[in-house]
Amino acid sequence: MKLIALVALSVALCLSAPAVIAAENDNRFAAADAAFMERGDVARANQALALYRVAYAENPADPEACWRLSMACYFVGFELADNNDQKKKLFAEGRDAGMACLKISSSSAPGHFWTAVNMALYGQVVGPFKMLFTLPAIVSHLNDSTSIDPAYAYGGAYRVLGAISQNLPYILGGRNEDARRYYEKAIMASPDEPMNYLFLARLLADRLKDREAALAVAEKGLTLCDSISPDRYESLKALAYLKDFLTLSPPGRGQGEGKF
């Protein structure tokens, strides 16, 4: 069942928290959103979580407060939590906040997205069988998110669906070609997100053994994603990985050399 745990890890690694909250920002969440935009700073990430908790406690019927709390729980749980007990509590809190959002607004793309993410990561912490048991619900929430807003989190739901298809055992429905289609849809939905190109390039190189296509995807990603705002914490890391990919796998090397 190690492969099931890998699915959950891949889910987390292919996430990019949305800068779109800046466009949706209003006075209710101004301070919390500003803190979350600086989540690369540990203190600011924890401050954002605390402020979102206050906003949710003050108005648990506000779907915007619900999904923001769910999003912050994911980030702090995955990036900052020290142990599995902390992770379990944060992912459960994030899952529940996401589900609370959907009870109020079933057409919330962020609600479906962050519910799925926290469900997957909670399952990983609790055990791979829990992840397997909840996988149909996770996939359903991701599909709902793509139907409502395919560009949310820079094509995040397509990216997570691709990670699931790529890492799920074949007997359970995992298919590399399905993963490729999902990553390509993520690129179409958000062509300025380097993580979309990174995951497609790595799939092409590592699983489909098409090195030239992988390099072309990585080069295209670097060209189209050359101006990313500082608040896009995960996107900037993905951009650096894309550069590493090309550095370690330059054109002209034989197959198997310079593997990323």
Residue with tokens 């745990």: 5
Residue 253 has pLDDT above 50, yes or no: no
pLDDT tens digits for range 69-116: 999 999 999 999 999 999 999 999 999 999 999 999 999 999 999 999
* pTM beyond 0.85, yes or no: yes
CA distance 106 to 86: 29
Per-residue pLDDT band for 33 (boundaries 50, 70, 90) equals very high
Residue 179 has pLDDT above 80, yes or no: yes
CA distance 3 to 168: 7
Residue with tokens 């054109």: 251
Residue 258 has pLDDT above 60, yes or no: no
pLDDT at 99: 99
Choose the weakest-confidence range: 13-22, 57-66, 130-139: 13-22
The CB-side HSE value for 222 (13 A sphere, CA atoms) comes to 14
Residue 124 has pLDDT above 90, yes or no: no
Three-state secondary structure call for residue 259: coil
Per-residue pLDDT band for 237 (boundaries 50, 70, 90) equals confident
Residue 193 has pLDDT above 90, yes or no: yes
CA distance readout (Å), 39 to 12, 19, 70, 160: 16, 11, 15, 21
The amino acid sitting at 186 is: A
Q: Which domains does the chain have, with CATH numbers?
A: 2-248 (1.25.40.10)
pLDDT tens digits for range 130-168: 777 889 999 999 999 999 999 999 999 999 999 999 988
Residue 5 has pLDDT above 60, yes or no: no
Query: 155's torsion region: left (phi>0), alpha (psi -120 to 50) or beta?
Result: left
